[in-house]
């Protein structure tokens, strides 16, 4: 049985329209998750360790103010296009579009005010919550009125996130959730003792601004071969890596498939990621620097969390050989990601 509760979380600042932000608490016997109507943000996700003790395993803030200020997309749904678009530019049906540059020379996670920074309209479901918003034609430079639904449902140990969208004009779209996880519990110092595996035979090398070069490279014989579980800290040392911030290319297809697994031996917590998406961005919190005050006054230093963002490949709009990122009128964008929490 999943229970769903809604409560007030805060009000938007007057300059942002002053709307009420609600929090939705989804609870099963093994997982408890809190989600805001602002940015569809997962603020809390509690799971059991092998002794049955609950801990919150996602980074975030105690108050709305933390989320309305600048932060690295903790727990949020990002869009219209997740990840980076080179030079914030693309051409569609002969017309060039210029987006806001918010990541060096590139546009990242939707631009200046992406889906993570707006209020969504909530609808309570028997086992979850569905959020809706209309992204108007021209918002952040993107074409078309885009209707978007993000649905969170909790069933036992499994949290499902479904993304649906329809558009009035052809537009690129790639939605994901940007939760930062630490299976030792949020506020723990690093994720070096986590064991991770990703079911990917290839990955995308990037330039020094994190834009894919266009090459689809085999992981075989490289530090990107995570097909067998590796202990993260030792693996980064062995391959002299500063961390990961790369897209791993998943086996294509519309069916649900297991794409990543994380195990934390000290607590026994495991997390599996299943998805219908063509890619997964593995990010190890390289830009966290301890300057943000998180939940319970925790600080979040470098490598104190990891993200597994299921999505289309970065800059696919400018790379014709990457999976199709365009949604056309009359079509429906529909992807689901499932997070399954267990103990071993």
Write down the pLDDT at residue 253.
Answer: 82
Question: Does 100 show up as a binding residue in the annotation?
Answer: no
**What mean pLDDT, rounded, does the chain reach?**
97
Write down the pLDDT at residue 16.
Answer: 85
Question: Does 127 show up as a binding residue in the annotation?
Answer: no
What is the rounded average pLDDT of the residues 311-318?
Answer: 98
**Confidence check: pLDDT of 17 > 90:** no
Q: What is the pLDDT of residues 132-158, one digit of tens each?
A: 999 999 999 999 999 999 999 999 999
Give CA separation, 17 vs 11, 14, 118, 134, 168, in Å.
9, 5, 10, 16, 26
Question: Does 179 show up as a binding residue in the annotation?
Answer: yes
**Confidence check: pLDDT of 19 > 90:** yes
DSSP code for 344: -
Write down the pLDDT at residue 252.
Answer: 85
Check 194, 264, 309, 335 and give the catalytic one: 309
What is the rounded average pLDDT of the residues 20-28?
Answer: 98
- Cβ proximity of 25 and 5 under 8 Å: yes
Provide the token pair at 260. 């990543």
Provide the token pair at 90. 């693309």
Write down the pLDDT at residue 75.
Answer: 98
DSSP code for 338: E
Question: Does 264 show up as a binding residue in the annotation?
Answer: no
What is the rounded average pLDDT of the residues 254-271?
Answer: 97
**Confidence check: pLDDT of 35 > 90:** yes
Q: What are phi and psi of 67, to 5 degrees?
A: -80, -25
Q: What is the pLDDT of residues 117-127, one digit of tens each?
A: 999 999 999 99
pLDDT > 70: percent of the chain: 100
DSSP code for 306: B
- Which residue, among 126, 118, 265, has the nearest Cα to 191 in the 3D structure? 265
What does 234-274 look like in DSSP terms, one character per residue? HHHHHTT-S--EEEEEPPP-SS-EEEEEEEETTTTEEEEEE
Tell me the Cα Rg of the chain.
19
| Residues 290/232/260/51 CA torsion (nearest 10 deg) | -80
Provide the token pair at 112. 């200046």
Q: What is the pLDDT of residues 98-108, one digit of tens each?
A: 999 999 999 99
CATH number for the region 3-343 comes to 2.70.98.10
Q: How many residues does the chain have?
A: 344
15 catalytic, yes or no?
no
**Confidence check: pLDDT of 192 > 90:** yes
Question: Does 178 show up as a binding residue in the annotation?
Answer: yes
Question: Does 83 show up as a binding residue in the annotation?
Answer: yes
**Confidence check: pLDDT of 235 > 90:** yes
Check 178, 194, 264, 335 and give the catalytic one: 178
CA dist., res. 186 & res. 190, Å (int): 10
Write down the pLDDT at residue 254.
Answer: 81
What is the rounded average pLDDT of the residues 323-339?
Answer: 98
Write down the pTM of the prediction: 0.97
Provide the token pair at 211. 């834009």
What is the rounded average pLDDT of the residues 231-260?
Answer: 96
Using pLDDT thresholds of 50, 70 and 90, give the confidence band for residue 161: very high
309 catalytic, yes or no?
yes
Provide the token pair at 343. 């103990």
DSSP code for 248: E
Write down the pLDDT at residue 162.
Answer: 98
């Amino acid at each position: 049985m999943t229970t769903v509760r809604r409560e007030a979380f805060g009000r938007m600042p007057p300059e942002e329209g002053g709307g009420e932000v609600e929090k939705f608490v989804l609870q099963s016997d093994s997982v408890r998750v809190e989600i805001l109507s602002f940015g569809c943000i997962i603020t809390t996700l509690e799971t059991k360790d092998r002794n049955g003790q609950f801990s919150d395993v996602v980074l975030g803030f105690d108050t709305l103010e933390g989320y309305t200020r600048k932060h690295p997309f903790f727990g949020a749904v990002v869009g219209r296009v997740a990840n980076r678009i080179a030079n914030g530019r693309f051409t569609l049906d002969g017309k060039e579009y210029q987006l806001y540059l918010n990541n060096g020379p590139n546009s990242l996670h939707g631009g200046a005010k992406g889906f993570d920074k707006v209020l969504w309209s909530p609808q309570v479901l028997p086992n979850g919550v569905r959020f809706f918003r209309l992204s108007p034609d021209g918002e952040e430079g993107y074409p078309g009125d885009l209707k978007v639904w993000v649905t969170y449902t909790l069933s036992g140990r499994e949290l499902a996130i479904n993304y649906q969208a329809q558009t009035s004009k052809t537009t690129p779209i790639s939605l994901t959730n940007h939760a930062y996880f630490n299976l030792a519990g949020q506020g723990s110092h690093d994720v070096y003792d986590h064991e991770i595996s990703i079911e990917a035979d290839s990955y995308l090398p990037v330039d020094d601004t994190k834009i894919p070069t266009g090459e689809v490279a085999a992981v075989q014989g490289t530090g990107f071969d995570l097909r067998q579980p590796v202990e993260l800290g030792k693996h980064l040392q062995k391959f002299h890596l500063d961390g990961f911030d790369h897209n791993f290319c998943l086996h294509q297809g519309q069916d649900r498939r297991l794409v990543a697994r994380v195990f934390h031996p000290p607590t026994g917590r495991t997390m599996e990621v299943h998805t219908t998406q063509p890619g997964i961005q593995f990010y190890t919190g390289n830009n966290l620097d301890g300057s943000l005050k998180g939940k319970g006054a925790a600080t979040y230093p470098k490598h104190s969390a990891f993200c597994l963002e299921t999505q289309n490949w970065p800059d696919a709009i400018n790379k014709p050989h990457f999976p199709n990122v365009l949604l056309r009128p009359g079509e429906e964008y529909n992807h689901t990601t499932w997070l399954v929490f267990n103990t071993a």
